Amino acid sequence: MQTAKPYKFIGKVLPDGHLSIPDEVAKDAGSEFEVTMTPVDDIKKITMQYLAGGIKKTRKFADITFSPAEIEEIRSAIYETFGTTDVDTLIDIVRRRDPLK
């Protein structure tokens, strides 16, 4: 089974609720695919804050902060994906998948 390559593009929600996607993606992705949506306005806002010096790149984990709602959203996504939030179990799952091979 061939794995489709990931695509990154800007799409729109059509009036009927469907997503617009480039023809190349439609041909390659098949009938089912995972979609992660980020509003373009959010990306523009964060980029402008970074360029204006409002967001500093420090490369320190201690500088990353999340609101309680964001923490719950991350926890839920991890649980949905792996069926657990136990760190030791997650590490074992990721190691067994061996993504580098």
Higher-pLDDT residue of 76, 97: 76
Q: Residue 21, class by beta-carbon neighbours within 10 Å (0-12 exposed, 13-18 middle, 19+ buried)? A: middle
CB 85 within 8 A of CB 78: yes
The distance of Cα 35 from the centroid of its chain, to the nearest Å, equals 9
> Residue 18 above 60 pLDDT?
yes
User: Comparing 43 with 2, which gets the higher pLDDT?
Assistant: 43
- The answer to whether 12 and 20 are in contact (CB under 8 A) is yes
Q: What is the pTM of this model?
A: 0.36
Contact between residue 47 and residue 24 where contact means Cβ atoms under 8 Å apart: no
Tell me, what amino acid is at 22? P
**Residue 1 pLDDT exceeds 50:** no
What does the pLDDT look like over 54-77, one tens digit per residue? 666 666 666 677 788 888 888 888
Per-domain residue ranges of the chain: 40-97
